[in-house]
Amino acid sequence: MQTSDALAEALLAAVRAQGFAQTADSALGGEPVAAHPSIDLAVVDFSRGAPRVANLLFSREYPQGLVAPLQPHLGPLRSVRFDADLQGARGDSIAWLPGSDWQQLPWRALHGEVDAAAPRFVAPYPASLLKLMVAVGVGLAVDRNLCRLGDVLPMLDPMITVSSNEATDACVALLHRLGLLGGSVNELNASFHQHGLPTLQLNDTTADGGWRNADGAGVGHIHMTAWDSVRLLWLLDAEAPPRPWLPPATPPLLQPATRDALRALLAAQQLDEVLSSGHLRGQPGWVPGLPDAPAFAHKTGTTDNYASDAGIVRAGRAHYLVAVLSSLGRRYAATPACATTWRLPALGAAIHALIEHAA
């Protein structure tokens, strides 16, 4: 269990063991899903010193899972072509509708920096995990002396800790006023790209703070992948080793005080309901998951079609980063109070167990 290959194989077995293909779909009257759900999972484990890394992709096209080959310096993923998610004319997530025919959909590549013959994976919309990108944008504004941290914390806190959409509106509007979004250059996307995170994209938001489907943004416009999400977290983790994909002279994404303030907000997370599940303790059939916040400093995202979670785990000797983006939203939840299927926190518990065992 000391190598990245061993980590990938253990994670592959852990995902398969959850039986995601049997997940009940309320859109099908509670019958199992018609096609294997899409799951993009990445883990970076620092528990034994040298990082162990893995990125696994499951979908209707790869129901047994695809282990993404990673570059030796752990840079952007070039071995998989990520296709962007799609929004229909009525503002719905057409790729995930029952009976959706992927052979007939107008896919487009999320970014062009991939091998021509690479297999493709449709990147699920990140849902409210996108608020992590917004928070980083506000942090960039603070570090550029465009605003003060104390003034923006009242917006950042609820956006991260309880996933307030209204606070997100205010933060997005602020980034437009300060010039990091809108205009001829998307400064936030450019900063992500400069730090080797090309699939992190916050596109087509509006000056009044719009970022949803109805605003001309949302699905098909805002993108994240698990591999770039865990490497973003690497940049936010003061206890992580140096980032091998960046030249040593690369300026930090955020200054230490700003970075640490954002990490503290992630540790104050109140929605342990995807990979962790403490928020749902007491629900029928409750399944334990990853350790809850603050041990898991993270951000979640859920809609009817999507569930995502990404964060930094420090528990005992275990120290790792984990991100999952999936097509397993509330329509797959076991109870109305749940955010997703119990199979995701069960996967979280399995991931933590295998890393704890190796630590």
Condensed to tens digits (0 to 9), the pLDDT of residues 229-273 reads 999 999 999 999 999 999 999 999 999 999 999 999 999 999 999
pLDDT surpasses 60 at 1: no
pLDDT surpasses 90 at 117: no
Q: What is the pLDDT of residues 295-316, one digit of tens each?
A: 999 999 999 999 999 999 999 9
Domain assignment of residue 63, given as a range? 4-126+223-262+271-358
Number of domains in the chain: 1
pLDDT at residue 111, as a whole number = 87
Q: Per-residue pLDDT averaged across 84-101, rounded?
A: 94
Structural tokens at position 114: 């991939």
Tell me, yes or no, whether 210 lies in a domain.
no
Kindly list the distances between the CA atom of residue 162 and the CA atoms of 141, 284, 358, in Å, as whole numbers in the listed order.
Answer: 22, 23, 33
Nearest CA to 310 among 294, 298, 327? 298
pLDDT surpasses 60 at 152: yes
- Would you place residue 327 in the very low, low, confident or very high pLDDT band (cuts 50, 70, 90)? very high
Burial call 308-340: b when 16+ CB within 10 Å, e when fewer: bbbbbbbbeebbbbbbbbbbbbbbbbbeeebbb
pLDDT surpasses 70 at 2: no
Average pLDDT of every residue of the chain: 96
CA atoms within 13 A on the CB side of 239: 13
Q: Per-residue pLDDT averaged across 176-189, rounded?
A: 94
Kindly list the distances between the CA atom of residue 304 and the CA atoms of 25, 121, 147, 159, 326, in Å, as whole numbers in the listed order.
Answer: 11, 21, 35, 19, 11
Nearest CA to 198 among 308, 77, 300, 301? 77
What is the pTM for the complete model shown? Answer: 0.97
> Nearest 5 degrees, angle CA 351-CA 353-CA 355?
70
